[in-house]
Structure 1
Amino acid sequence: PLFRNEDEFLDLNARLKMSSSHRDLGLFIIAHRNDNITLRWCKYNTIMLQQRAKLSSIQEWIKEMLTYKHETALLDEYAKWQIPRFPVSGRVLKDHGVPMDRNTARVINKLKEYWVDHDCALDDKQILEQVPAVLEEIKNTSPPRSPNIQRKKKKV
């Protein structure tokens, strides 16, 4: 490989002043170049990375990864794939008693992960059955909330 790790790539990025999109693409390829790339891997990453980057960017990264690994047949298959719509919204969760707080996004992400693990074949009822387990998991892994401390305002 041209770069042994992300630090070498970031050093080159600092010297050449690449665009942020090229930097992100390079970091994605370095992070995943040793992964076993399958169509399932492509679909999973497309759906799960949407919270961190634009969908068009993620699709481009995955296409570039497939090109990097010379996976032309998989690239053709991935290009034909249509992203399914996640059947559960925040509104539906709220209607089912999920509190709308700082953990709402985590709940949706966990449910999305469960949905993707089942090949996006579950309907909203099957996904909503997982809500109690997801809420319990998040409750057990969330850091304790820090108390609200009122800070003194500086006098100008």
Structure 2
Amino acid sequence: MTYTWQVARESMRVFPPIFGSFRKAIEDIEYDGYRIPKGWKVLWTAYGTHYNQEYFEDPLRFKPSRFEEPIQPYAYVPFGGGPRLCAGYQLAKLNILIFVHYVVTRYDWSLASPDEPITMDPLPFPSQGMPIRVSPKFP
């Protein structure tokens, strides 16, 4: 299941289950020439790190093997991180792995439009909704 989880992680890197969240600045800081006063709310986005070449080489490429090595802390945050890590993270992981197991072992499936482009406006999204054909496998 190691590779299956790598595929799931890469899928969530490309299409995070959360857009982001607000945080409150706990002290005055300067970032990229801008002053952010203590108490201001700051929006962070999962896409901001998941598509950052500093953390993920060739971020537009779907590459599950990138998860063979440890990822820098807080660069991969589909379930948040640290003390705000989603309480359901382990349950979600288990559900994802079970779902993928059943889909690949009990069904034949294929993309209805294999060459469908992914648009970035402003987030990645399949231009046609990524329809698939699914049929049960028969023994």
TM-score (norm 1): 0.23
Say which structure is richer in helix: 1
Comparing both chains, which one has the higher relative contact order based on Cα–Cα distances under 8 Å and sequence gaps of 6 or more? 2
Q: Which has the larger radius of gyration?
A: 1
| TM-score of the superposed pair, with normalisation by structure 2 | 0.25
